[in-house]
Homo-oligomer: A and B are copies of this chain.
Amino acid sequence: MNETRVTVWNEYRHEREDERYRSVYPDGIHGAIAEGLSAAGDLKVRTATLDEPENGLPEHVLMETDVLIWWGHKAHEEVSDETVNRVQARVLHGMGLLVLHSGHFSKIFKRLMGTSCNLIWRVADEVERIWVVAPSHPIAEGLDRYVELEREEMYGEFFDVPPPQEVVFLSWFPGGEVFRSGCCYTRGSGKIFYFRPGHESYPTFYNADVRKIMGNAVRWAAPVDGPPRVFGNQAPLSPL
C-alpha cells in the first residue's frame, strides 16, 4: 500500500482579508487541516488555494492527488469551469473528494450532486452535537456515540442533496434543527464525503474528534485499484 496523497484546497480569502478569521486560522484553514492530517504519519499532504494559477489545481496536481479536500465559501464563482471539469473527471476515475461545510455550495459539489445543495443556516454560536448513526462505518472509527462542538454555525434540513448512500452522522442544534452531517456518495470510481462543520469563525479544524473524522474519511475515500473504465461498442462475450 502506497502512501495516500492528499491535497487540501482552500479558497483562502476570509483568513487573508479579515483579522477575525486570521486570528482563528493564522496559517489558513488549509494549514490547520493539513496539520491535523499530517500528525498520523501515513498521509502525504500538500495544500492548494484559489488564487494560485489554474486555481491551484492544474492537471499534474490532480494526477498526483488521491484525495482532494475542499473548503470554499464566498468565492465559489471564481473557480473556473475548466477546474471543475478537471476535478469531476478525476473523481469519476477514482480520486476521493471531501467537501467541507460551506463547500456544499461549491461548483464541484453541485456538479457531482445534480441538485441545488441548498439548506437553512444561522450563525449564533450554537453547540453542535454530531451523532453516529452508522457504527460499522470506517469514518466512525475511534469515536464515541456523539461528538460535541462547543460553538458552530447551524445548518438545517431540508438539505437539497440526493439521499446519501450512507449517512454516518446526524447533527442536533439547540435552535430546533437537525442535519445529515456526514454523507457518503460514490460517483464513477470515486468516493465523496460531505462533512458539515467548519465555519471560518470557529476553531473546528483543531478539534481532536474532527481531526480523527477527517483522517478516517481520507482513508475511506482513497482510491481502490478497481476495474478499468471500459465504454462503447463491444463484441459479445458469448456466441450469439
Contact = CB atoms under 8 A, between A and B. Distances in A.
Nearest to A139: B224
Given A234-B120, A238-B175, A136 B227 contact: no
Contacts of A116: 92, 188, 231
B157 A92 contact: no
Contact of A174 (B135, B143, B146, B238): B238
Interface string A142-185: 11111000000000111110110111001110111110100001
Contacts of A120: 230-234
Contacts of A121: 232-234
Interface residues of A, number: 76
A222 to B, nearest CB: 10
Given A133-B180, A240-B124, A144 B224 contact: no
Given A132-B158, A233-B121, A234-B121, A172 B177 contact: yes
A181 to B, nearest CB: 10
Contacts of A92: 115-116, 160
Contact of A235 (B122, B138, B141): B122
